Structure 1
């Protein structure tokens, strides 16, 4: 018999808390599961493990390292613009808003970190304003939004056309108005100004909320964005998607075979009446591919080809999607990329990007990139800027 001191203790794995798990403690894994094994073991994998095991794309991750600060700055910019004198007391940010924006080192440090975007008074009480450069960029975005009002109306029309009932909660549309490039007063300038297209009514299921719906549901047959890529191929590709896997992602022979078979699965397009039933293996595969088609089209409608997963999930019931949309994005890494930077899950349309930028930019996107570029300058050139003034 070995003594207790000589007996070697069995190591106990340290528990690790995963984001969004409140009751489950999971052991750490030295290496994440490869994607092809993860898909084979899907039923035994939690959503948090699925997120943790995804293959990272360094280009998108680097972009989100900068973009997360842009997302924190946007609410502050909106508050300054909406104030009568275009100023904001710093004390206003020192409340719960600072915590909600995750300004971990405090609002004063955040404001001073981006002097090309924000100006702050030298004397107390501190007052925050926008720099002339930032005001110029925001004016150009507003002008671009006004010029693109017809395109914005079309995007809202398409969004409603994807709904099974051609109706959507107005509050859900409000969550993505910026992503869709809608003007901030779209309820008036887009919905009320186009009574032949849209109508607004009380939501019978939720007090004090409204439903926006299409007036003429058969007025236009839309073509999904993926069709332009399919037409460019010199073969029959009626149900294929443009796949661009992350660099370094290992694709096994079995995984390639599964992808090839999945590409051939027929499905109902996002603007077609849904007649597919989810019963049986083939029915479930067709419904899953229909969900991929709807999510692809939704993100294609956004001006930056990206959207927060939390925002897009508000539409899935209206689109007839019963799947977890976050898992859907993770299951198709050749079509979508999911980033978890900045205390949020953001999904990108992979085919729309190259080297961290849109392949086909638009005026609203260009203006937002210029605002991001101002933030990327940090404190560079501040000395010369001060001397010029």
Structure 2
């Protein structure tokens, strides 16, 4: 009997009870955990989380920074007659796409696997064009884009099902068409060609066009996270109650997880929420419990939005376009920083102008875990951009590669460019004082030392037609 009283006294000791609770909580696995602001109690997750950088995603964005500039030049070349452009007009036209004076030529010389300069066989003047590898990559991306149009139709249907009224502004969808794998003419090839799923109409109060969903398909109202939970339950044998409302979490390296933070995460993981595809207009959202559910529903909505994209990433500014239609929080950046184990916000590669949101569970070491054909085709361009200029083959096949159109020129060295422009090449480089001109070998040496340097892109990150309504967006800075 005294032993029993002694054991009970130990259990009632607050220090021992606290130690036992800490030990139990520390054994909870974090591979299926999330971060979320619940309430203002001591166990809630703080709103102001310290942002931890993940270099794998930042390096990914550094490559995409170069790709965005290359894509601008590709669009410029493809819009010209015979897809070629005289070197004399290059500097003038490049200013329209955000390049500074005498900057375009040096930029093209950094990527000889994408662009090449040749001498016209008849006119005897210098032209620039896309290489054969670049044209093959563009053709591969077009084929992949056309082949996945049926999947794009499904993605657009699911996107409309997540909106409150079942319709979205056509302009907002058009701005984000690249992320969702929609072709440039999606208004015709996707919307109008599938009248059984979509309908276009004009708003009464404005001239804006809207896409409306015709009928809801219950089979599409299944979130991607629900399939992941089922997989975890069947393969790993995790308790169904523990993963019923949980999210996969993979915190960035160096993220500090304290004791109370772990407890708050564990509690938030068990908070139920409404599905992003569920209509919540009939619920009373004034209670604290309803607000918790809506906050967690916002996490599920952004999670599902990212899974619908081709590369499982999208800019924060484009998510803001869907804020009102999908009941997302006003301060999106602050909201997402509370969930660094689910999402990652990168500001690299664009001087902090745009914020790219990644779905962490879809990537590993900066690579997509389940790549698709369209993603692989786009990454081909990244491979061409990263290839060293020194590896350009100067053999007969590449120098004399002929096109279906007029051809006959090959790769031109800087010495030819200088000679054709009376001592000044068109890229703003003058002959050296001794009158010697740099040959192709010297050009390779110059490019090898300058390949890592990048030109200024102060104006290359925003779409020229992309605008954000003031009521739709608040960065929460």
TM-score band, normalised by shorter chain: 0.7 to 0.9
CA contact (8 A) 1:179 1:303 kept: yes
Say if 1:56 and 1:219 are closer, same or farther in 2 by CA, change over 3 A: closer
1:227 equivalent in structure 2 = 226
2:381 equivalent in structure 1 = 371
Say if 1:325 and 1:121 are closer, same or farther in 2 by CA, change over 3 A: farther
Q: Distance in 2 between matches of 1:93 and 1:302?
A: 32
2:361 equivalent in structure 1 = 351
Aligned length: 342
SS in 1 for 2:253: coil
1:252 equivalent in structure 2 = 258
Once the two structures are TM-superposed, the CA of residue 273 in structure 1 deviates from its matched residue by 1.0
2:322 equivalent in structure 1 = 315
Larger Rg: 2
Say if 1:274 and 1:108 are closer, same or farther in 2 by CA, change over 3 A: farther
Q: Distance in 2 between matches of 1:67 and 1:385?
A: 30
Q: Distance in 1 between matches of 2:81 and 2:209?
A: 29
Query: What is the aligned-residue RMSD (CA, Å)?
Result: 2.6
1:1-389 correspondence to structure 2 within 5 Å: 42=47, 53-88=50-85, 89-99=89-99, 106-121=103-118, 127-207=127-207, 209-218=208-217, 220-233=219-232, 234=237, 235-236=239-240, 237-275=243-281, 277-343=284-350, 344-384=354-394, 388-389=398-399
CA contact (8 A) 1:277 1:287 kept: no
Bigger shift: residues 57-66 or 166-175: 57-66
CA contact (8 A) 1:90 1:126 kept: no
Once the two structures are TM-superposed, the CA of residue 247 in structure 1 deviates from its matched residue by 1.4
Say if 1:218 and 1:127 are closer, same or farther in 2 by CA, change over 3 A: same
Deviations 1:17-74 (A, max 9, x none): xxxxxxxxxxxxxxxxxx999x9663xx6xxxx7xx4100011112212121112222
Q: Name structure 1 gaps, 5 residues minimum.
A: 1-34
Q: Normalising by the residue count of structure 1, what TM-score does the alignment of the two structures yield?
A: 0.81
SS in 2 for 1:318: coil
Once the two structures are TM-superposed, the CA of residue 315 in structure 1 deviates from its matched residue by 0.8
Q: Distance in 2 between matches of 1:378 and 1:317?
A: 46
SS in 2 for 1:380: helix
CA contact (8 A) 2:91 2:103 kept: no
Say if 1:272 and 1:128 are closer, same or farther in 2 by CA, change over 3 A: farther
Q: Distance in 2 between matches of 1:273 and 1:345?
A: 29
Q: Distance in 2 between matches of 1:365 and 1:300?
A: 13
CA contact (8 A) 1:240 1:263 kept: yes
Say if 1:312 and 1:378 are closer, same or farther in 2 by CA, change over 3 A: farther
Say if 1:274 and 1:105 are closer, same or farther in 2 by CA, change over 3 A: farther
Q: Distance in 1 between matches of 2:93 and 2:292?
A: 48
Say if 1:197 and 1:386 are closer, same or farther in 2 by CA, change over 3 A: same
Q: Name structure 2 gaps, 5 residues minimum.
A: 1-35, 400-477
Q: Distance in 2 between matches of 1:330 and 1:225?
A: 22
Q: Normalising by the residue count of structure 2, what TM-score does the alignment of the two structures yield?
A: 0.66
CA contact (8 A) 1:266 1:286 kept: yes
SS in 1 for 2:194: coil
SS in 2 for 1:250: coil
CA contact (8 A) 1:339 1:346 kept: yes
Q: Distance in 1 between matches of 2:131 and 2:171?
A: 32
SS in 2 for 1:348: strand
Q: Distance in 2 between matches of 1:286 and 1:126?
A: 64
Say if 1:192 and 1:108 are closer, same or farther in 2 by CA, change over 3 A: same
Deviations 1:264-288 (A, max 9, x none): 1111111111255543433322111
SS in 2 for 1:319: coil
SS in 2 for 1:200: strand
Say if 1:96 and 1:135 are closer, same or farther in 2 by CA, change over 3 A: closer
